[in-house]
């Protein structure tokens, strides 16, 4: 997947763990593996974000599932606070499907992204495993595979697009892997930290994709940090920062997000 400045933001997961009871009960919104119907609103350096999450019946008493849809970068030129030549159109969209087995704390995630600025997107499937709690820490290792697709690009060869490339403007670039972890540190009953490092690399595809599929390279290490505060049992406010090994923290993506559980 070809990204101009930073790889797609990886926000905290929201799927269930075996410690949770019924969906109708209020879920712990600080847990990276909690499943609940929700709505979120974010103010970011690239505009406004809107998020909606809906749980659904999996047809199995020991599994739970949720779909989450996000629209990002609304009115970036008017409301954003960076100097990256934002416009007021939508920057990107993201769809995620989560499911979890309540008997073993093992979940799966389908993650689909599309960036309207670069006309590039990706889709991946990952497995997540909840590990036993260690004091104030929780860890959730993740591993998966994905595909990258989008508009044809010049790549390392340079030059203009030829007739066939213009005609076949969108194509499948190649495949990639992702390996990482979601981590939570509980500071107090109402304050917590999340750190989510992810390592991604190309597997197959065109020569241009394999050589520079991730920020002009064949692999990349990305980072996400968040600080959360629980306002009431059903609502929280969180600060997020996303950056990579090629993007300094100060040049990364930053946002403040409000989330409400229904």
In this predicted structure, what is the pLDDT of residue 68? Answer: 97
Residue 223 contacts residue 10 (beta carbons within 8 Å): no
In this predicted structure, what is the pLDDT of residue 156? Answer: 41
Q: Report the distance separating Cα 223 and Cα 200, nearest Å.
A: 11
In angstroms, the Cα distances linking 161 to 120, 157, 165, 212 are 16, 11, 6, 18
Q: Report the distance separating Cα 53 and Cα 171, nearest Å.
A: 30
Residue written as tokens 């390592």?
199
In this predicted structure, what is the pLDDT of residue 163? Answer: 47
* Full-model pTM: 0.84
Averaged pLDDT, groups of 10, the chain, 262 residues long: 36 39 71 89 93 94 95 87 73 94 92 93 96 96 96 56 55 95 96 97 93 92 97 97 94 95 96
- Among 73, 59, 62, CA closest to 16: 62
Does domain 38-261 fall into CATH 2.40.160.40?
yes
Transcribe 101-166 into DSSP letters. Answer: ETTTTEEEEEEEEEETTTTEEEEEEEEEEPPPPBTTEEEEEEEEEEEEEEE---GGG-S---HHHH
As separate numbers, helices (DSSP H) first and strands (DSSP E) second, the chain gives 3, 13
């Amino acid at each position: 997947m070809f990204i101009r400045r930073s790889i797609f933001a990886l926000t905290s997961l929201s799927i269930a763990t075996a410690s949770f009871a019924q969906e109708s009960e209020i879920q712990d919104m600080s847990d990276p593996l909690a499943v609940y119907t929700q709505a979120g609103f974010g103010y970011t350096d690239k505009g406004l974000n809107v998020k909606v999450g809906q749980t659904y019946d999996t047809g199995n008493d020991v599994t739970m599932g949720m779909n989450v849809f996000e629209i990002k970068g609304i009115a970036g030129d008017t409301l954003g606070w960076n100097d990256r030549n934002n416009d007021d159109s939508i920057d990107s969209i993201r769809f995620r499907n989560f499911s979890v087995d309540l008997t073993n704390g093992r979940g799966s995630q389908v993650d689909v992204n599309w960036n309207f600025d670069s006309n590039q997107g990706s889709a991946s499937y990952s497995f997540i495993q909840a590990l036993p709690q260690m004091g104030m820490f929780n860890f959730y290792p993740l591993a998966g595979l994905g595909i990258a697709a989008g508009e044809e690009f010049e790549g390392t060869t340079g030059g203009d697009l030829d007739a066939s490339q213009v005609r076949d403007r969108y194509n499948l670039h190649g495949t990639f892997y992702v390996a990482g972890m979601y981590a939570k540190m509980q500071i107090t009953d109402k304050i917590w930290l999340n750190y989510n490092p992810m390592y991604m690399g190309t597997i197959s595809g065109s020569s241009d994709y394999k050589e520079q599929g991730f920020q002009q390279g064949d692999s990349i290490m990305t980072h996400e940090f968040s600080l959360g505060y629980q306002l009431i049992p059903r609502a929280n406010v969180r600060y997020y920062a996303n950056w990579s090994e090629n993007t300094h923290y100060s040049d990364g993506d930053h946002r403040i997000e409000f989330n409400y559980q229904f």
